[in-house]
Amino acid sequence: MKKTLWVLCLLLAASMADATVPPDLDTPENREILKKVESTLGKIKTMKSRFSEFSSKDGDFMKHGDFYMSRPNKMRLIYDAPTPLEFIADGQNFIYYDKSFDQVSLLDINQTPAAILLKPDFTFDDAAFEVVDIRQELDEYHISAIKTGQAELGTLTVIVTQDPLEFNQWELVDMKGVKSTVGLYETELNGPVDDALFVFTKD
């Protein structure tokens, strides 16, 4: 259960890509890429989006759902049926809810990587994460990062389109080598988001 929660936190930590940059990646070109991605993510105060998630362990099954975020410290992922999962940050706690087992797990937001994405002032300047890859693929920037000193938790790749600059996808490879790809669409930025969405209640 806690491993699943950490995986989600890494997925949501799209903002943490630049904390520590190793010498072989610390070039003017890469710094410029990181600056662009930081600026793009830093402008997001609220976000509503549909998402599609594909996992290498699920075969051809594609999960879908709704994603909501409101800085500071609030977010929610709601999976469409038949996937019985929700993830909620309510301002203090990060909550994982598995409806199939009626099981709830909680972590303090500040004990999760998601805290960087959800804090009021977005920045890449966070030593808790280390960049392991920066690259351009077609018209996209790909930035991969791990949690400093805890590479076993997995590798997150944040994907931002170049023109226009838009955060629209992430990839996660977990400790077992399972790759999950999440694409965002029908995205609305910096509009009103109902605060009631971030209050956890069981259905």
Query: What backbone phi and psi angles, to 5 degrees, belong to 32?
Result: -65, -40
**Predicted pLDDT of residue 18:** 40
Q: Is 130 exposed, middle or buried (0-12, 13-18, 19+ CB in 10 A)?
A: buried
pLDDT at 123: 64
What domains, with CATH codes, occur in the chain? 2-198 (2.50.20.10)
pTM beyond 0.85: no
- Please give the structure tokens belonging to residue 51: 């998402």
Q: Which pLDDT score is estimated for 95?
A: 92
Tell me, rounded to whole angstroms, the distance of Cα 80 from its chain centroid.
18
Q: Which two tokens stand for residue 152?
A: 């076993």
- One digit per residue, pLDDT tens: the chain, 203 residues? 555 555 555 445 444 434 578 888 889 999 899 889 888 888 889 999 999 998 887 776 899 999 999 988 898 989 999 999 898 999 989 898 999 999 999 987 766 656 656 777 766 667 777 888 999 999 999 988 877 777 777 788 889 999 999 999 888 887 788 888 889 999 999 999 999 999 998 86
